[in-house]
Every structure is written in structure tokens, then in C-alpha cells.
Amino acid sequence: AKAALAYADDHRGQFPWASRRVNGETVCWDFVTAKDGSVRPGEMWNGYGIASVMQCPAFAGGKANWKNNPYTGYNYNCSYIGKVEGDPAKRKSPARIAEVRDPARTALFGDGQYGGGANKFMRAPVREVAFDASGKSIRLAGTQGFRHRGKTNVAFCDGHVESLAQPYQYGGEEGFTAQDCGFLSPDNRLYSLEK
């Protein structure tokens, strides 16, 4: 969380993009994939070369969902904080620190996991066209892994981290969406900028 906040401080209060194309490269918050397929630390790390912090120890050996990503296990709130270029939502860029009404209750990063492995883009369970217009299948691929003794770790926008034990399904029911995977809340309350 500190790296994202430091990035925002250096970029006029704006959080990093979740994913976008720049000069033929795919620039993501965690890694940049060059035209030749090589991978280097992403937008938030600004070349510091500390990519191994992107590996969740409890997900070591787990399947990454992006080819060539050397480390995996965490995801970034792209429904409200970061922005995936090409998502048809009305918002056109990542959020700014000043837009987060309740930083202590707005998820920034989490233990990313869905039925097919890791995911790096955290999604809120309910579609809100102004912020994230992705459909159900994309949302289900942006859930959290409850892999720490039945809990998932979440870093919030104020920098604190919590372990949450209650997963939610798409549609708000309690329970897992896939084995050990679920949303942080039955609605968008733990993802949203406004409370």
C-alpha cells in the first residue's frame, strides 16, 4: 500500500494504472511486458528491481494468469482505484487519493485468486458502469483467495492491513465463488470510493 501511495504522491495524487498500453508495451501496476515478451518491474515500482515482493508466500508455485510474470499472488483494486485501459466504464483514468472518501474501508490490494489461479486485477462484485463496466465472468476472475487459514489479507488505502474471514459470492450470498475464493463484501462497499 505504501508503494501505491508514494506513487500517487509523485503523480499529483493519482494512483497507478492497473493496465494500459504505452509505446507497444503492456504497462501494469506490477509488471511491464515489453514487445519482445520480456518482463520488468511495473509502473508502481519505477525500476527499483524489487519484483519479488509481488510473490505471496502462501501462493508460491501457484499458477499466474499472465504469461511470463515471474511472481504472483496479489491483486489491485481496478474497479475503483486503478483503471484497466479499454474497460468501457465512464471513468477514463485511475482514482486520485482525494477521491477516496474512507481510506480505512477502501481495499487497495489483496490476495488475488480465482478458480483458474492468481489474478492481478481485483474486481468489485457489482457492476457499476461509471467505474467498472466489466461483466460477471471478469468479476469472478477478480476475486480474493482465502488461503491464510481460511482468511484473505487486504491492504486498505490508508495503509493498514486486515485479515477477513467471510467470503461472498457474486450476487451477495455468503460462501465461495470457487474453492477458497470469494469477494470481500456482498456489495461494493469495501471497494468503492464513496461510502
pLDDT of residue 40: 86
Separation between Cα atoms, residue 6 and residue 9, nearest integer Å: 5
Residue predicted with more confidence, 1 or 59: 1
Separation between Cα atoms, residue 157 and residue 106, nearest integer Å: 6
Q: ∠ CA 23-5-114 to the nearest 5 degrees?
A: 70
Q: What band does 156 get if pLDDT is binned at 50, 70 and 90?
A: very high
Q: What band does 60 get if pLDDT is binned at 50, 70 and 90?
A: low
User: Per-residue pLDDT tens for 77-130?
Assistant: 999 999 999 888 899 999 999 999 999 999 999 999 998 888 999 999 999 999
Separation between Cα atoms, residue 125 and residue 79, nearest integer Å: 9
Q: Is the pLDDT of residue 51 over 70?
A: no
Mean pLDDT value of segment 65-87: 88
Domain boundaries, the chain: 2-182
- The reply to whether the predicted model has a pTM over 0.85 is yes
Which residue spans within the chain are E strands per DSSP?
19-22, 25-28, 31-33, 39-41, 74-77, 107-111, 121-122, 144-145, 152-156, 161-164, 181-182
